[in-house]
Structure formats: C-alpha cells, structure tokens
Amino acid sequence: MAFNSFHFAAFFPIVLILYFSVPRTLRPGLLFIASCYFYMAWRPEYIVLLLGATLVCFYGGLKVAEAEQESAKRRYTTICLLLLLGVLFVFKYFNFANDSVREVVSWTGGSYPIGAIDLILPIGISFYTFQLLSYVIDVQRGATGPERSLGTFALYGSFFPQLVAGPIERANNLMPQLKELPGFDYDRVVSGLRLMLWGFFKKTVVADRLAPFVQDIYSSPGEYEALGLAVGTFFFAFQVYCDFSGYSDIAIGAARTLGVDLMTNFRQPYFATSISEFWKRWHISLSTWLTDYVYTPLTRTRYIKLGWYNKFLLALLLTFLVSGVWHGAAWTYVIWGGLHGTYLVCSMLSQKLRRRIVKNVGLAKAPRFHAALQATFTFLLVCISYIFFRAESVADAFYILTTIVAGTPAMLASITDASYVSSQLNVRAHLPEFVLGVLGILTVITYDAIQRFKPEFGTQILAVPTLRWSTYAATTFAIVVLGAFYENASQFIYFQF
C-alpha cells in the first residue's frame, strides 16, 4: 500500500481511531494486523517472506543469546545472515549476477546455459532485511538483549509506517517503544500529522511534478543537449530528495501519531559543505547502519593486511560499494556508490592541501562565503553521481556526463535564448509541471534553509494561530488540487530498492 494512495487515505484514519479506542493491551496486536494488511495490499503472497525472515531472526536471536561459546554465537548469526541475504540475493541480485557472468563467458567465446529467473522484487525487502539482521548482530555483540516475546518482535519487523522504505530502525530504539505504547497525546498527534502533511507536499506537489521532465530526458538522453541534460539532473536531485524525504516524513509522522519515535532520516542534506557531511544528513538510517555493520568491522578485521590509515580508506570505499549494490542490481548503482567512496577517499587524502589553499587565498577570513562555495561544490559532486543513479545504462550515464561537460560553454552562451531553453526543457509539453516543479523546489529550499539556519523562525510562525492555520490550509489545498488529483503521479522511488 502506497502512502500516496486513496487506499492509505482510508486505511490510516481507521487504524488511528481503532488504535486509541481499544484497550492498551490490544494495541500491539492491532498494529501487527494493520501492518500485515498494509503489506499484503501490495502482493498478499509475499507476506510469507516477511514473516519467515521475522521467525528466522527471532529464534536465531534466542539461539545466539543462549549459546555460551563465542564460536556458537557467530555460527547462529552466520546462519541468519546467509538465510536472509540468500533470499535477498535470489530476488534482487540473481539476474544481475547471472547476466554479468553470461557476458564474461560470452566475451571469452563460451556458452552459458543458465537463464534468468522471472521474479517480482518484494517491496521493502532490502529495508526489513537490514533491520532484522541488525537485531541478530546486536545480540551477538551483546549490544542488545534477546527479545523473548514473538508478538513484540513480529511488530518490530513489520511496523507499517517504516516497513517498506525505512527509516531502518534498531532494536534498542524501536522495541522498547512497542512494548510500552502510550495513550492519546494531542501534541504528538498534531506534530505527527503536521509532519505527514509536509511529507505529502514534497512527494505529490514537488517530486511528482518534476518526474515527467526527468523521465523524458533520461529515457532519451540522445535527444537533448547539455542544457536539457544538466537541468534534468538538477530536477532529479530534487525529485529523489523530495520523494524519499517525503516518504520518511510521512513514516515518522504516522509513527509519532501512534506514540512511536522513529529516527530522523534526512537533515537538510543539500546544505552540506562536504560529502562526509552529506552522508550524515542523507538517508541517515542507512548511513549509520553501514557504518556500524560494514565499515567498522572492515576497519577492525585482521584479514586485510594494510596499515591502519590505508585500511580506513579501503573500508570507506568498500562500504560505499556495498551501499551502491544495496540500492540496486545494476552497474550504474555500483558506480554511483564507488563515486561517493572515491569522493571521500580523495577528500581524506587532500585534506592538508585544501586547508593550505583556503588559508593562502584568504577564504578562511570569509567563512560564510567559504561555506557557500563548499556547499555548492558538494551539491555539484552529488549531482554528478546522480547521473549514474538515474541513468538507464552505464553508456547513457557516460553520454550524459560527457555531453554536459563538453557542451557547457555553448550552453552558457545560449542560456538567454528563450526558444532554445524552452525546446531543451520541453516546457510546452509540461508547462504546468514545470511551473509547479520550480515553485516547489524554491519552497523546499526555503523551508530547509529556515530549518538549517533559523529554526526558531518556523516555530514563531506556527505559534501564531492565523499563520499556522493558513499554512495548513495552503499546504492541504496544494496536495489535494495539485497533487492527489493531478494527472501525473508515481510510486515512491525507493520502493524499487
């Protein structure tokens, strides 16, 4: 069930009313049933995979906790890892790996008889797999105790607000809250609904309005010159941000109305002044998961015979390659992850040189201007990586990148030609979406700037009843008229991961 559907518009109020109407002891059961229904509204048969993974990790966690020897703990943890990652591999990565092997064999002149498997990727499988595995690993490390209530653990694995696209929660944060679900709290409900409203705005009014431009440009990049490709990439940067952060806002807001606090998943990432800071502000739940369960173990492993600093850099690169593979079974995602890993490695290696340059050219005396330059350059690097994230093939990605680089001088020379700009952006075919998309981007940038630099200003606006209700009404109007009932709508981008 998608958040941006009439199905959810009916489902969530009913769940909310029933949740606060039944006795507190029945609320976990109600949420579990609602979560199962939420997931089964997509494809009912795939609930078997979710429940199977939940049972494996529940009993696996108990076995890990009961084992007295460390070798036995590692063995049970490994079994859980192999089972869940094996299912993930079959559904998400088998065809990618199989096709890659076939290409290599074909290149050597051999024949390869194994064909593709026709399977539909279970929605949310990457998210709930990581969440469930983190519990088993934490039990093995002694970072959390084993959960002995199957009902509580089943709700932890299936909690519908964050089930299909995160945030990827940890047992230490989510499990205790599910055991002590609170009663009705007016302030929490209002705060949650307000956050959901903003999330719906970002998704339906901004992301879905930018989608037609991005789709036209990236589905036929050869028909566009540097300007169209550059603007398409810029639009995609805000499409994917508003789409995914919008989902996260809706998820966090929905959970908050139910009395559950989920972790923040985005924190104004496009104001980051470095790639390192960007990843502390973008998809935070995945970044911290990869840090704890991939990067940190790699830096501590004894199997990589390198000096500490070189091991640290290699761990960074490998972690982002894993991030790329997690996002999708295609070489474009691998390159995207590798780019971000390379950015970070180059940043570490050039740190002293960059500090010296900043000092010598006098940027240290203008910290705000320096921060603006850093944020602009960071955003540019992120947009370059987005070309590979969005492109339909590696060849398309390199074509887009090289065309933008080679055509930038001509693009700047023609930027004042209105007819040229209109033809490159196909404005006539999508004029309403273009206007709404640009206004939406400006709205999101303004909101994020306030949250980043003047958060008290937003609080002051909401404290004035007239301004508060005017904001609610305008946002709701935009969602209903310009979003929910608009011709062009799409599913959330991260549902495919």
- Which residues have a catalytic role annotated? 327
Measured at the CA of 94, the angle between CA 490 and CA 73, to 5 degrees, comes to 105
CA distance 328 to 350: 30
Torsion of CA 79, 84, 87, 89, to 10 degrees: -90
Q: How far is CA 272 from CA 196, 279, 425, 449, in A?
A: 24, 9, 28, 11
State the DSSP code for 305: -
**For residue 441, what are the CA distances in angstroms to 98, 202, 235, 238, 413?**
40, 9, 9, 7, 25
Alpha-carbon gap, residue 423 to 57, rounded angstroms: 55
Q: Find the DSSP H helices in 162-207.
A: 171-179, 186-200
Rounded to an integer, what distance in angstroms lies between the CA atom of residue 471 and that of residue 494?
28
CA distance linking residue 18 with residue 28, whole number of Å: 12
Separation CA 254–CA 260 (nearest Å): 9
113 three-class SS = coil
The sign of the dihedral angle between the CA atoms of 327, 330, 335, 336 is negative
CB atoms within 10 A of CB 125: 20
Q: What length does the chain have?
A: 497
Q: Which two tokens stand for residue 72?
A: 């036995």
Q: Which two tokens stand for residue 161?
A: 């607000």
Residue with tokens 């941006």: 4
Q: Look up residue 329 and give its DSSP letter.
A: S
Residue type at position 346: C
Side-chain-side CA neighbours of residue 333 (13 Å): 13
Q: How far is CA 444 from the centre of its chain?
A: 17
Bond before 167 cis per omega within 30 degrees: yes
